[in-house]
Amino acid sequence: MITVSEAQNSIRQQAKTFGYERVGLGQSFGRVLVQPIRADRDYPPFNRATMDGYAVRADDFSGGNPSGLQIIEYIPAGSAALLEVGAGTCSKIMTGAAVPPGADAVIRVEDARAENGRVFFSVGTVKAGQNIAKRGEDARQGDLLIASNQLITPQVASVLAVAGQHEVEVARLPKVGIVSTGNEVVPVGAPVLPHQIRDSNAWAMRGFLHRYGITDVTAVLAADSKAALAQAVAGLLLSEDTILLSGGVSKGDADYVPEVLQSLGVRQVFHRVRIRPGGPLWFGVAPGGKAVFGLPGNPVSVQAGCKLFVEPYLRACFGLPMLTPVYFPLLESRTKKTPFDDFFPCRLITEHGTTGVEPVRYNGSGDIAATQHSHGIAMQPAAAEHLPQHTPVAFHAW
C-alpha cells in the first residue's frame, strides 16, 4: 500500500500525449494550446490615444497655457492622420486612434473647450507621452505572447485573436471508456428493482471529463463475472485511449477487476493507496501505454479518485502544470477514524472577512448526495487523528 503522493507520482510517470490537431479559434475554448505564440507585429502597432481629446505638442505648453490651438483635423479610431501637428495646432482624436505625426500628448476632452475652429484648455502643463499608449509598449514583434501548454481561457483566446491566430494547434482529447461494474447496477432510464441501484458513477465521471472538454466517451455496464468484465474491457482496450472502471477492486468475492485486467495484458502499477475514501484504487498500463484506472464503486470514492488521481494524469498528458491545494482554516474541530489520509467533502464559508473550511455531514463514501453541496475536498493528514478548530487544511476545489 502506497501513499497518495507516491500514487500520484507513479500515475504522472505514465502520462503520454494523445496527439495534436488544429482547430478553429471558435472551437478552441477549454482546449490546451501546444504551440508558442509570438507577436506578429508591435503591440500597440502605433502610438495610440487612450482618451477622447486633442493631440497636441507638449512644447506648446512649455511656457504655460497657450491662447488656444487651431484644430486642423478630426481623427476617429480606424482612420489614419492626413496632417502633421505643428506649432500652434492640434487634432481632435478619439480613443484608440493613431496619434498624428508631430503630436506627442493627448489632452482629454473634459479639459478642453472648442470654439470657432480653435480649442482652449484648462490645464497648465502637459507632459510628453500623456494619455498615449506607445507603440510596442505591450509587446515587440517576435516577443513571446503565449507559452505553449496553456489552457485556452477567454483571456488567452483574446490574445490569440489579436495575434491573428484564427486556427491553433491543440492537444488532442482522449477517447475514454467507462465501465461500471456490478450485478446491482442498472442504466439510469431502466426500471429499477428494490435490490438494484442506478448507474450514477458513470455520470459523475462523464461530468468530470467534460470539464476538460472530453466528450468522446463510451460507457458500458459489466456484470460481476469474469467473462462479462473481460468482454466489456477487451473491446475498450482496442478502441479507447484511457479506461476508467468503478467497482470490483476491493477484496470481495466478486471483485474481479484486478485479475481480469491483468489477464488482458494490463500491467499493474499499484493497487491500494493509504487514503479514505478510495483506498482500493487500482492503476495499470495496457499495451500501447493506455492508462487504466480501477476506482472503488462508492460515489464519493469515485469523485475523490477522479480529482486526486485521474485529473493529475490528464494534466500531465496535456502538459499542464499540476494543481496545488489552497490552505484554509478549519471552521470546526474534526476527528477521523482512519489511520490514512482522510479526504472529506467540505464547503468554503466566508464570515467576518475570513474564509474557512466547513466539513459536510455525510454517511460515508456511499452517501449518494454527500458532495452535491460541497465546493471540494479537504485533507486531514494520516498523522493527525484530531484537528482543532482553525487548523489550516489543504483544500482541493472540485
Range scoring the smallest mean pLDDT among 117-126, 138-147, 239-248: 117-126
Going by pLDDT thresholds of 50, 70 and 90, the confidence category of residue 63 is: confident
The Cβ of residue 182 has, within 10 Å, a number of other Cβ atoms equal to 19
Res. 377: pLDDT tops 90: yes
At residue 67 the predicted structure's pLDDT band, cuts being 50, 70 and 90, is confident
Average pLDDT score over residue span 222-250: 96
DSSP run (H or E) holding 55: strand 53-56
User: What confidence category does residue 113 fall into, taking pLDDT thresholds of 50, 70 and 90?
Assistant: very high
CA pair distance 356, 333, nearest whole angstrom: 12
Contact yes or no for 234/227 (Cβ under 8 A): no
Rounded Cα gap, residues 301 and 279, in angstroms: 8
Amino acid 124: pLDDT: 80
Please identify which residue in the block is written with the cell numbers 482612420.
79
Is pLDDT above 90 for 125? no
263: pLDDT strictly greater than 80:
yes
pLDDT number for residue 156: 98
Percent of the chain residues topping a pLDDT of 70: 100
C-alpha of 48 from chain center: 33
- For residue 358, with 0-12 CB atoms within 10 Å meaning exposed, 13-18 middle and 19 or more buried, which class applies? middle
Q: What pLDDT is stored for residue 84 in this prediction?
A: 98
Report the pLDDT value the prediction gives residue 367, as an integer from 0 to 100.
87
pLDDT-based confidence at residue 253 (cuts at 50, 70, 90): confident
Q: For position 380, what pLDDT does the model report? A: 98
Instruction: Identify the band that residue 265 occupies on the pLDDT scale cut at 50, 70 and 90.
Output: very high
CB 181 within 8 A of CB 229: yes
**What number of other Cβ atoms are within 10 A of residue 185's Cβ?**
22
Average pLDDT over residues 384-390: 97
pTM, entire model:
0.89
Pick the closest to residue 68 from 106, 135, 12, 115 (CA basis). 115
Q: What is the pLDDT of residues 282-306, one digit of tens each?
A: 999 999 999 999 999 999 999 999 9
Whether 270 contacts 239, CB under 8 Å? no
Taking CA atoms, 263 is separated from 20, 226, 230, in Å, by: 32, 10, 8
Secondary structure of 237-296 in the HEC alphabet? HHHCCEEEEECCCCCCCCCCHHHHHHHCCCEEEEECECEECCCCCEEEEECCCEEEEEEC
**Positive or negative torsion for Cα 222, 225, 228, 234:** positive
Nearest to 344 by CA among 307, 314, 293, 296: 307
Mean per-residue pLDDT, 335-344: 96
Contact residues for 358 (Cβ-Cβ < 8 A; gap 6+): 331, 332, 346, 347, 348, 349
Cβ pair 345, 319 in contact under 8 A: no
**Helix 4-12 vs helix 311-318: angle between axes, to the nearest 10 degrees?**
30
Mean pLDDT value of segment 138-142: 98
Q: Given a cut of 90, is residue 43 above it in pLDDT?
A: yes
Split at pLDDT 50, 70, 90, the class of 126 is very high
At residue 288, the pLDDT reads 93
Task: Please determine, for residue 374, whether its predicted confidence score (pLDDT) is greater than 80.
Answer: yes
Average pLDDT of every residue of the chain: 96
DSSP assignment letter at 98: B
Q: Which has the closest alpha carbon to 50: 125, 129, 127?
A: 129
Average pLDDT over residues 158-185: 97
Q: Is the pLDDT of residue 66 over 80?
A: no
**pLDDT score of 206 more than 80:** yes
Instruction: Taking residues 101-128, report their average pLDDT.
Output: 95
Percent of residues, the chain, with pLDDT higher than 90:
93
